[in-house]
């Protein structure tokens, strides 16, 4: 059987691709001087309604970021019950390409494992911000925050324990409403089952 590969026989002047690329760059450059507000769909416009080229006065001012922006991973707990969504299933630890997530599953008085993370720690200084941990989590317990600054004066400051990682669901629903809307139903359903399988008072954030 003969395979025929179609070819473009027409003559193309040398440098056509280069010129097209430069025209695209020039078009973006010219449009930057127009009324182009720094705006992201679903987000509030930049404070002051400024447009065109301007400097963001960081950190006092922060430009809006998309809902799927990948900052650093955090853990969620339910606002109403205080129940942690994490069940120590180890999915995020296995998905992490650099192995910086460390989890110790909790046990009951009889020594039987329960769906609860006794210890949970992430080494922020080595995080790649890849988001694979959040994608792998079947319970919606680990998500990507929009906070990225990690400057510390000591190495221990990068060892993020569970207590420092926990955030209420309402916090994430506010910064990433579209992402939370996608996983909310499944996360809440699984959380109900998780609470039933835990001893009373275990895996509850003390507020």
pLDDT computed for residue 41 by the predictor: 59
Across the beta sheet with 166-168, the strand order is 142-144, 73-77, 166-168
What is the per-residue pLDDT across 12-32, written as a single tens digit (0 to 9) for each?
A: 677 888 999 999 999 888 877
Rounded Cα distance between 203 and 115, Å, is 9
Interstrand relation of 166-168 and 73-77 (parallel, antiparallel or unpaired): parallel
Domain spans, the chain: 16-64, 73-197
Q: What's the mean per-residue pLDDT of the chain?
A: 87
2.60.40.420, 3.30.70.3270, 1.10.260.40, 3.40.50.970: which CATH number matches 73-197?
Answer: 3.30.70.3270
Q: Coil, strand, or helix at residue 175?
A: helix
3-state secondary structure string across 114-133: EEEEEEEEEEHHHCCCCCHH
Q: Is the pLDDT of residue 205 over 70?
A: yes
Contact (CB, 8 A) for 118 and 128: no
DSSP element (H, E) containing 29: helix 16-31
Rounded Cα distance between 174 and 189, Å, is 20
Q: Is the pLDDT of residue 52 over 70?
A: no
Taking residues 108-119, what's their average pLDDT? 93
Tokens 């720094």, residue located = 38
pTM exceeds 0.85 for this model: no
pLDDT computed for residue 151 by the predictor: 82
């Amino acid at each position: 059987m003969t395979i025929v590969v179609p070819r473009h026989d027409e003559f193309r002047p040398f440098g056509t691709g280069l010129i097209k690329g430069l025209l695209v760059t020039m078009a973006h450059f010219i449009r930057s001087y127009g009324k182009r507000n720094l705006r992201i769909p679903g987000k509030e416009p930049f404070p002051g309604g400024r447009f065109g080229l301007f400097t963001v006065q960081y950190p006092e001012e922060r430009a809006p970021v998309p809902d799927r922006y990948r900052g650093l991973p955090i853990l969620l707990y339910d606002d109403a019950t205080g129940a942690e969504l994490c069940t120590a299933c180890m999915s995020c630890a296995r998905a992490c390409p650099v192995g910086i997530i460390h989890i110790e599953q909790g046990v009951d008085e009889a020594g039987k494992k329960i769906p609860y993370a006794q210890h949970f720690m992430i080494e922020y200084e080595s995080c790649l911000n890849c988001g694979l941990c959040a994608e792998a989590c079947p319970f919606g317990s680990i998500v990507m925050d929009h906070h990225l600054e990690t400057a510390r004066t000591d190495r221990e400051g990068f060892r993020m324990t569970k207590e420092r990682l926990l955030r209420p669901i309402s916090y994430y629903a506010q910064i990433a409403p579209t992402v939370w809307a996608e996983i909310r139903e499944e996360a809440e359903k699984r959380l109900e089952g998780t609470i039933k399988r835990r001893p009373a008072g275990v895996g509850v954030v003390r507020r």
